């Protein structure tokens, strides 16, 4: 599953460079997202995330303080999300007894739960000075010790990039739901280039069990089979208001919240149960249709919109990118022309879903970056958080359905 490694590399690309913006913040305005006049750091950031995209694997908060809680399905609960630069959405889970609080990235494009282990030494830089799971401090820990490896694809030298660790079993609590006997992975060796700048210490996979490594039952499946949720459904709402540890978004487990979207939900069947993949009739910018009955995936865990290589050059031409021949796949647009750029129209189940230029152009001070990119060998249309911030999405693991509606912000 090379695509998922690609997507994950794209995410981590953003983390490396956007972290630099913390030191470039205009102190007078106390901005959440730092501004930088020089496009080079932004290019580095996009290049980092594109690296994440090239290696991404096929791949919480307990209190419920939503102002719209009365519109949420009965029996469902929410995990509040934190947002870092509109590129990383994570929640806090609790593992073990007494509970250990760990921040995990939510990812609809993978299916395993893993966290950094206390057995990962500080000589492994991504493990240094991090909150890690310590099995010796938990009374509900059960050893499995089966080796666990996630190979994320090939690096620039043609070698594999991987996480190594072992399987364990524990009580895992998310959003107040306590999952018993959840098998997860303790990671003891981490690639420095991929995780050194990460704010999370694990990943909570929400993909189908068919892509779970070692055949481990994903946490959401256990929420359903253990009778903790009434419906085999989760839904995701992402805010796009920049870094926030309070209002980054919501992961709703066991249902939907009708107060978070407008109009009616549009349902589409999953075409291949692995990723949340479906067939899209068309996607257009101006008169250029860059998707005719193509396969698309919804991927919380990828920041950009990733298109097949053979259509990116035409999209760049339409958007008038300033550096069309840039081999970094970081494409800049003229900030003064954002309002002139066309809408992107995605047709899903006979309904149009639009993105305005203000949705798909990422602006950092006087530097503006196109939200479109591609990766060698990828043939899927990957709709990342640029799209998912505009639309509320629902995922049903039993009936294998996806639903979308305009998000209310």
Whether the pLDDT of residue 285 is over 60: the answer is: yes
Least confident of 51-55, 228-232, 272-276, 321-325: 51-55
* Average pLDDT value for residue range 177-182: 98
* Tokens representing residue 81 in the block: 């999300």
Residue 146: strand pairing partners: none
146: left (phi over 0), alpha (psi -120 to 50) or beta: beta
* Average pLDDT value for residue range 90-119: 96
* Tokens representing residue 393 in the block: 């999405």
Q: Which domains does the chain have, with CATH numbers?
A: 260-406 (2.40.70.10)
Could you tell me the CA-to-CA distances from 94 to 60, 178, 186, 244 in Å, in that order?
8, 9, 14, 21
* Terminal-residue alpha carbon distance, the chain: 34
- pLDDT bracket for residue 264 (50, 70, 90): very high
| Per-residue pLDDT tens over the stretch 129-158 | 999 999 999 999 999 999 999 875 444 444
Which of the residues are catalytic?
107, 299
**Residue 28 neighbours by CB distance under 10 Å:** 6
- pLDDT bracket for residue 50 (50, 70, 90): low
CA-CA distance, 50 to 56, in Å (whole number)?
Answer: 10
CA-CA distance, 194 to 9, in Å (whole number)?
Answer: 7
Taking every pair of Cα atoms in the chain, the longest distance, rounded to a whole number of angstroms, is 61
Predicted confidence at residue 46, as pLDDT, reads: 54
Whether the pLDDT of residue 196 is over 90: the answer is: no
* Average pLDDT value for residue range 22-35: 28
156 vs 203, more confident: 203
The answer, yes or no, to whether the previous bond of 98 is cis (omega within 30 of 0) is yes
Mean of the per-residue pLDDT values of the chain? 84
162 vs 393, more confident: 393
Q: Is 392 helix (H, G, I), strand (E, B) or coil?
A: strand
Whether the pLDDT of residue 52 is over 60: the answer is: no
Secondary structure letter of residue 54 according to DSSP: T
300 vs 1, more confident: 300
- pLDDT bracket for residue 244 (50, 70, 90): confident
| Per-residue pLDDT tens over the stretch 335-379 | 999 999 999 999 999 999 999 999 999 888 899 999 999 888 889
**What pTM did the predictor assign?**
0.85
């Amino acid at each position: 599953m090379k695509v998922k490694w690609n997507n994950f590399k794209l995410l981590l690309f953003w983390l490396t460079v956007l972290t630099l913006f913390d030191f470039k913040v205009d102190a007078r305005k106390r901005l959440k997202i730092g501004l930088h006049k020089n496009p080079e750091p932004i290019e580095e950031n996009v290049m980092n995330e594109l690296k994440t995209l090239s290696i991404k694997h096929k791949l919480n908060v307990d209190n419920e303080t939503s102002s719209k809680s009365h519109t949420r399905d009965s029996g469902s609960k929410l995990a509040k999300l934190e947002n870092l630069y509109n590129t990383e959405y994570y929640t806090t889970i609790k593992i073990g007894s007494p509970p250990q609080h760990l921040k995990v990235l939510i990812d609809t494009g993978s299916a395993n739960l893993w966290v950094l282990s206390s057995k990962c030494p500080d000589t492994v830089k991504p493990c240094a000075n991090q909150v890690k799971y310590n099995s010796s401090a938990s009374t509900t820990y059960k050893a499995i010790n089966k080796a666990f490896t996630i190979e994320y694809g090939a690096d620039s030298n043609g070698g594999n990039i991987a996480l190594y660790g072992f399987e364990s079993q524990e009580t895992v609590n998310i959003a107040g739901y306590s999952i018993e006997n959840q098998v997860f992975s303790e990671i003891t060796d981490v690639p420095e280039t991929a995780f050194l700048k990460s704010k999370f210490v694990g990943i909570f996979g929400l993909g189908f069990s068919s892509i779970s490594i070692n055949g481990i039952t994903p946490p959401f499946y256990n929420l359903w089979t253990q009778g903790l949720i009434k419906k085999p459904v989760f839904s995701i709402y992402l805010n796009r208001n920049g870094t926030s540890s309070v209002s980054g978004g919501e992961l709703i487990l066991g249902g939907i919240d009708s107060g978070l979207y407008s109009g009616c939900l549009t349902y589409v069947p999953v075409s291949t149960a692995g990723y949340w993949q479906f067939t899209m009739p068309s996607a257009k910018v101006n008169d250029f249709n860059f998707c005719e009955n193509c396969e698309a995936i919804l991927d919380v865990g990828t920041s950009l919109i990733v298109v097949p290589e053979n259509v990116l050059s035409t999209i760049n031409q339409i958007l008038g990118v300033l550096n069309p021949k840039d081999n970094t796949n970081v494409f800049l647009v003229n900030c003064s022309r954002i309002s002139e750029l066309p809408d992107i129209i995605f047709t899903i189940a006979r309904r149009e879903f639009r993105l305005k230029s203000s949705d798909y152009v990422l602006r950092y001070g006087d530097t503006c970056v196109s939200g479109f990119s591609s990766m060698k060998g990828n043939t899927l249309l990957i709709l990342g958080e640029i799209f998912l911030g505009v639309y509320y999405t629902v995922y049903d693991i039993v009936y294998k359905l996806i639903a979308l509606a305009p998000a209310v912000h």
